[in-house]
Amino acid sequence: MLIKRRTAHELRESAVTAERLFQQRRRFLKNGVYAGGMLATLGMLPATAWGLAARFVEQIGSAPNTVAMDAGDEELTSWEAITGYNNFYELGTGKSDPKRNAAALVTEPWSVRVAGECGKPGTYALEDILRPHKFEERVYRLRCVEAWSMVIPWVGFPLADLLRRFEPHSAAKYVAFESLYDPKNPLPGQRFPVLRWPYREGLRMDEAMHPLTFIAVGVYGKPLPNQNGAPLRLVVPWKYGFKSIKSIVKISFVREQPPTSWNMSAPHEYGFYSNVNPKVRHPRWSQARERRIGEFFKRKTLPFNGYAKQVASLYQGMDLQKHF
């Protein structure tokens, strides 16, 4: 970008027709994420991650409950691509920088500040944020504004379930998010003013509460690698990937549309909404087609990244050329 479901996502596993699920499961098994593979990994994890990882085994490894099939039966993108080809400018602007610089991001201890129009503002330790939630798998397409895409098996929980715990007031019309930024100890990419740090994003309240909107804490059944936005990141599958802010440290309930990083940086190129839309060009390239990582031929980009049935009604009556 530098510039130069009948809510299928909530199908119970037992209700999902076998073949597709089986194929997905086989792929998970091939990637070695279940029981054996997971346990082998656990010994290497630091103490606080142990608790998190143990819950993966408990909730996903031995007793999968809900499974998302919102990417149809499309091939999952490989673990190597998902964790090795990233956009995370705090860790560098090159696609391989985030993995290379991943160790610079310290995720323990981690807390999230909750502020603004809500009944329960405060600073919450990661453990308290995660504890009440039941993790589930969601297989979603991710479409980057740069015209590449992936299919990613996330692990996490609906953002709505988290936000409700803070008792948002009716005056809260938007939710604003911020990523990690310590000016005294910047991450490698934050030494350069490529964006105004911290990275900021936002959603309208109804977008934030939509059942597809997800907080990811894992991928392929493993805790989220740092380069993918550990320890918790947003996933909004019908919007360009830059809306899916990584490594969240602050959530604010606000009355007005909040400023967002890419929109502040280039307002004529990146709108607040940034719904995937093959008909609205980026000023410097077409958005009609995309390169699925791992595939040779380009494929057509779908309106709302293929989630129009679930989300188009959120934008009824809006001019989506204007509100891009």
**CB of residue 25 to ligand MTE, shortest distance in Å:** 23
Cβ-based neighbour number of residue 302 at 10 Å: 17
Nearer to ligand MTE, 86 or 260 (CB): 86
Asked whether position 59 contacts ligand MTE by CB under 6 A, the answer is no
Binding mask 106-145 for ligand MTE (x = CB under 6 A): ------------------------------------x-x-
- Which two tokens mark 313? 């009604």
Question: Which residue in this structure is represented by tokens 């980057």?
Answer: 144
| Cα distance between residue 311 and residue 321, in whole Å | 17
Q: What angle do CA 129, 10, 295 make, to 5 degrees?
A: 95
Nearer to ligand MTE, 179 or 305 (CB): 179
Total residues in contact with ligand MTE, by rule CB under 6 A:
18
**CB of residue 216 to ligand MTE, shortest distance in Å:** 9
Instruction: Examine residue 198 and say whether the peptide bond preceding it is cis (omega within 30 degrees of 0).
Output: yes
Nearer to ligand MTE, 117 or 213 (CB): 213
Cβ-based neighbour number of residue 153 at 10 Å: 25
| Closest residue to bound ligand MTE by CB | 241
Asked whether position 86 contacts ligand MTE by CB under 6 A, the answer is yes
* Window 266-285: residues binding ligand MTE (CB under 6 A): none
**CB of residue 130 to ligand MTE, shortest distance in Å:** 19
| Cα distance between residue 260 and residue 128, in whole Å | 27
Give residues with Cβ within 8 angstroms of 259, minimum separation 6.
200, 202
101 sits in the region (left: phi over 0; alpha: psi -120 to 50; else beta) called alpha
Q: Is the dihedral of CA 49, 51, 54, 56 positive or negative?
A: negative
* Window 230-269: residues binding ligand MTE (CB under 6 A): 241-242, 244-247
Binding range to ligand MTE, per CB under 6 A, among 40-48, 85-93, 279-287, 310-318: 85-93
Can you list the alpha helix ranges (DSSP code H) found in the chain?
A: 18-30, 35-42, 47-56, 79-84, 97-100, 126-130, 159-165, 205-208, 261-265, 308-311
* Residue in 28, 56, 88, 307 binding ligand MTE, rule: CB under 6 A: 88
Binding mask 169-208 for ligand MTE (x = CB under 6 A): ----------x-------------------x---------
End-to-end CA distance of the chain: 16
Asked whether position 90 contacts ligand MTE by CB under 6 A, the answer is yes
Asked whether position 87 contacts ligand MTE by CB under 6 A, the answer is yes
Question: Which residue in this structure is represented by tokens 């995660």?
Answer: 130
**CB of residue 270 to ligand MTE, shortest distance in Å:** 10
Site residues (CB under 6 A) for ligand MTE? 1, 86-90, 142, 144, 179, 199, 228-229, 241-242, 244-247
